Structure 1
Amino acid sequence: MRTALTDLTGVRHPIVQTGMGWVSGPRLVTATARAGALGILASATMSPDQLRSAVREVRSRTDAPFGVNLRADAGDARERVRIIVEEGVRVASFALAPSKELIAELKDAGVVVVPSVGARRHAEKVAAWGADAVIVQGGEGGGHTGNVATTVLLPQVVDAVDIPVIAAGGFHDGRGLVAALAYGAGGVAMGTRFLLTSDSTVPDTVKARYLAATVKDITLTTAVDGLPHRMLRTEMVAELEGAGRLRSLYHALRRASGFRRLSGLSRLGMVRDGRALRHGKELTWSQVLLAANTPMLLKASMVDGRTDLGIMASGQVAALIEDLPSVAELVARVMAEAERTLTVLGAESSRAANSSPSGD
């Protein structure tokens, strides 16, 4: 299936596996690339050296295109951009809008730039700055998300920009892919669906919690870091929502220290990142400190399997997922279902046309 996304990135199928911290590592990205979709390495939870090593690991396993996701506001963003360029990575995606200068630097090196956005005005801004495409995530999506549904946000952005738009938030099958294409998107991006595959390194006990979730078990909370964050409702989420400020800050500082050691960031670097996080947002310094909680709370679940101590970011679509296929099986299934859906729609359109009264 050829679309603006496949033409831009060189992949066979218009499907993107998003960059999820502690989840989108070399194993998952390699499996996605081999399956013909666009795998994205999540670099925010890696040190620069770990990122370079992860890129080389994927490259050693496949010659298919893949990408790297990074935070544009991170203090070492330019160092990570240099790694992307030096290692010949095809796509750079961003959780936050990159600067005009950062976009230009990547494009000059032949890297495809794909920021993620949650509002039309943000898409218009990065498009004007030279972004090659945008991932548009509606409020159904997991992790940090907005409050506008994909079915409203997606057509807004498609109508506002002249670059390929990739739809995210609420997608898990071929029917969703066809719906996104009908809105004018060039493909779909999926996180939770790729997390719930046999190629994902997330512990089986954690995957079981996702598979058992109903729509009512997936919540949107600001208790973790002061920003809207969609995740499974767990004991930890309930504890965070009921915790007082001093208790929350105490635990946040401990986990922030742990993340500093894992990521290789200096204390000064974390302060710079905190300032960048506050920029343009009405966050107190207390909320910034709580934001440092997030990587370690995610690691507790996604790596250590401690669902009692961690959080589990999740799109609402988790309530519709019931199995753990391999990535190759998943991508093949999505594409086959999309083709069947298009065939059925074409047949129904033909029948409707043939049954119209003469002269209509």
Structure 2
Amino acid sequence: METALTKLTGVRHPVVQTGMGWVAGPRLVSAVANAGGLGILASATMTFDELRTAVDEVRERTDQPFGVNLRADAVDAAARVRLLIDARVRVASFALAPSRALIETLKDAGVVVIPSVGAVRHAEKVAAWGADAVVVQGGEGGGHTGQVATTVLLPSVVDAVDIPVVAAGGFYDGRGLVAALAYGAAGVAMGTRFLLTEESTVPRAVKEAYLARGLSDTVVTTSVDGVPHRVLRTDLVAGLEKANRATGLLRAVRNANRFRRLTRLSWSSVVREGRTMRRTRKLSWSQLVMAANTPMLLREGLVKGNTDAGVLAAGQVVGALDDLPTCAELITRIVTEAADVIARLPR
């Protein structure tokens, strides 16, 4: 199934595994790559040295194209970009819009740049700056998300830009891939579906907790880090929503210090990164402090398996999933089903 995405990145199938923090490590990314999809390493929760080790490990596991998700506002963003260039990583993805300069640096080195966006104006901006493609996520998606449904946002972005558009938010099977292609997308990107695979390093008990949920068992809350975040409904999330502002800020400060120690950042680096985040994301100081909650609360659930003390990001598709296939089984199933659906369409 050749599309503008497969031609651009060199993968066999128009299926992308998103760069989920604490989840998208070498084992998952290489499994997706070997199955013909585009696997994306999540670097936001890695130190620079950990990212370099992870890239080397993916290289050992596969000779297929893969990508790395970067934070454009990281204090060492330039060094990470240089690492990708030196390692000849095929794709650089961004959860937030990278600067024009970062895009130019990557493109000059032959790296494909694919930012993720949640609004038409953001897609237009990065397209004008030279991005090669965009991933557009509708409100059904897990983690940080917007209010506009994929079925409305996707065609709006397709009509607004002349670069390949990858659809995210609400996709998990071959029917969804065909629907995305019909809207004009060049492929689909999935997070929750790949989190629930055999190669995902999320603890088995946590995967089973996901599989037990229904279509209405996610909630969009601002209580985790101050911005809309789609997660599984849990007692912890309910407690966060009931907590007063002072309690939330105090917890966030503690989590900021925990994350600083984990990533071995100095306080000066944290402050510098915070100022950049405040400028680029237009966050208030309280929202900036709250942002520290996300990596640590996700780590409790997705790494440590503590569902009572951790937050579990999830797209609405979680309620439609009932198995833990290998990445090869999943991608083969999606592409085969898509071909069958297309064959059955009226001529």
The TM-score range, normalised by the shorter chain, is over 0.9
Compute the displacement of 1:317 (Å): 0.7
Aligned to 1:330: 330
1:39 aligns with 2:36: no
1:11 aligns with 2:11: yes
Deviations 1:170-203 (A, max 9, x none): 0000000000000110000000000000110001
Matches within 5 A, 1:33-112: 33-112=33-112
The CA distance in 1 between the partners of 2:283 and 2:99, in whole Å, is 21
Aligned to 2:134: 134
Between structure 1 and structure 2, the one with the greater Rg is: 1
DSSP 3-state at the match of 1:216 = coil
Contact (CA 8 Å) 2:216, 2:316: kept in 1 or not? no
The CA distance in 2 between the partners of 1:311 and 1:117, in whole Å, is 23
The CA distance in 1 between the partners of 2:293 and 2:246, in whole Å, is 14
The CA distance in 1 between the partners of 2:40 and 2:190, in whole Å, is 11
Letter in 2 for 1:140: E
The CA distance in 2 between the partners of 1:280 and 1:6, in whole Å, is 31
Deviations 1:205-255 (A, max 9, x none): 111111111122100000011100001011110111111122212221121
Aligned to 1:203: 203
Compute the displacement of 1:307 (Å): 0.4
DSSP 3-state at the match of 1:279 = helix
Aligned to 2:192: 192
The CA distance in 1 between the partners of 2:73 and 2:274, in whole Å, is 9
Deviations 1:78-122 (A, max 9, x none): 111011111110000000000000000000110000000001111
The CA distance in 1 between the partners of 2:117 and 2:66, in whole Å, is 20
Compute the displacement of 1:285 (Å): 1.4
Aligned to 2:259: 259
Larger deviation, residues 260-269 vs 65-74 = 260-269
TM-score (ref. length: structure 1): 0.95
Compute the displacement of 1:280 (Å): 5.4
Aligned to 2:342: 342
The CA distance in 2 between the partners of 1:172 and 1:187, in whole Å, is 12
The CA distance in 1 between the partners of 2:305 and 2:22, in whole Å, is 12
The CA distance in 2 between the partners of 1:78 and 1:280, in whole Å, is 16
Gaps of 5+ in 2: none
The CA distance in 2 between the partners of 1:164 and 1:279, in whole Å, is 29
Compute the displacement of 1:260 (Å): 0.8
Gaps of 5+ in 1: 350-360
Runs of 4+ in 1 over 3 A off after TM superposition: 280-283
DSSP 3-state at the match of 2:64 = coil
Contact (CA 8 Å) 2:73, 2:280: kept in 1 or not? no
* RMSD across aligned positions (CA): 1.0
